[in-house]
Amino acid sequence: MGRIDDQEETGRGHAPPGLSYPAQGHGTAQRPDHGPNRAPDRGPDLSPDDDPTPPPDRGAVVLLHGFMGAPWTMRAMGRALRAQGFRPFCPWYESWAAPFDTIVARVAAALEKRGIGHAGPVHFVGHSMGGLIARSVVERLQPAGMGHMVMIGTPNGGSELADFCTGQRLLRPLLGRAGPALVTQRRLPALDGLDLPTYPVGVIAGDSPLPTPLRVMPHPHDGKVSVASTHLAGEADHVTLPVSHAIMPFSPAVQRQTAHFLTDGRFLR
């Protein structure tokens, strides 16, 4: 399960173009010019240095892309984590045409096929809806070596933008069959029936949306998910960064924070 390029992408389909969901905390940092929930953009450089000593093996990390996404959106994150000693695996899943329960079953089957989680530590990183899938997959598989989980822009409380689309007849089809997992007033046993996490979960939110004429999101938000909606009961740590929703997996700041949480169970301050 070594390299990020060894992705499982069988069954690739094409969904019609649409919205991309590519999804009170503890220990939030303060920076006067950016509000009480903003973490400083600092931390160690994840680029490989000149030291020939390889990094320690920190175990497998499953990277799950978001709604209407694809594995390539997680490649930069995978490279950054590999430089820190993690072994990334980035499965593809059909996020638009399949119901949420089916997605979870297929991702779980892909991990079992690879033997991920049976021996040694395994971590999870999910972008947007990928975080919801990660939590449900862990609940289903109960991996013996469960490590840490990072949710990036995940709508744990649902997305207000998904609510808006659901209320518009012409926009409703954009959410596909996974739409019930994205709204704020969801009734989805695969999510609502989950126990509080027994493993450390770190949540990264964004508060710098790209310009848009829509005014349906409560501030602060990343353009798709409000900061308030990213919180998860039982989270170990929460941090807000100046990034927009779609950019999160590509952001060096997000990558640094993700690597730090996977290693130490807390974010950089």
CB 232 within 8 A of CB 203: yes
pLDDT reported for residue 27: 41
Instruction: Calculate ∠ Cα 161-165-171, nearest 5°.
Output: 140
For strand 201-206 and strand 146-152, is the pairing parallel, antiparallel, or unpaired?
Answer: parallel
In terms of Cβ atoms closer than 10 Å to its own Cβ (0-12, 13-18, 19+), residue 92 is buried
Identify whether 220 is preceded by a cis peptide bond (ω within 30 of 0): yes
Print pLDDT tens along the chain (269 aa).
Answer: 433 334 433 334 433 333 333 333 344 443 334 444 555 544 444 444 455 677 778 999 999 998 888 899 999 999 999 999 999 999 988 877 788 899 999 999 999 998 887 777 999 999 999 999 999 999 999 998 999 999 999 999 877 767 766 666 776 666 667 777 767 776 776 677 788 899 999 999 999 887 665 667 778 988 889 999 999 999 999 999 999 999 999 999 999 999 999 999 999 98
Q: What is the per-residue pLDDT for 122?
A: 95
DSSP, res 67: B
β strands within the chain, DSSP E: 59-64, 86-89, 122-127, 146-152, 201-206, 237-241
Tokens of 85: 């000693």
- Token couple for 204: 């990264």
- Could you give the angle at the alpha carbon of 46 between the alpha carbons of 43 and 52, nearest 5°? 130
Distance CA 50, CA 246 (A): 32
- Total number of residues shown for the chain: 269
- Token code pair at residue 253: 């700041």
3-state secondary structure string across 148-194: EEEEECCCCCCCHHHHHHHCCCCCHHHHHHHHHHCCCCCCCHHHHCC
Distance between CA atoms of 208 and 41, rounded to whole angstroms? 14
**Max intra-chain CA distance, the chain:** 58
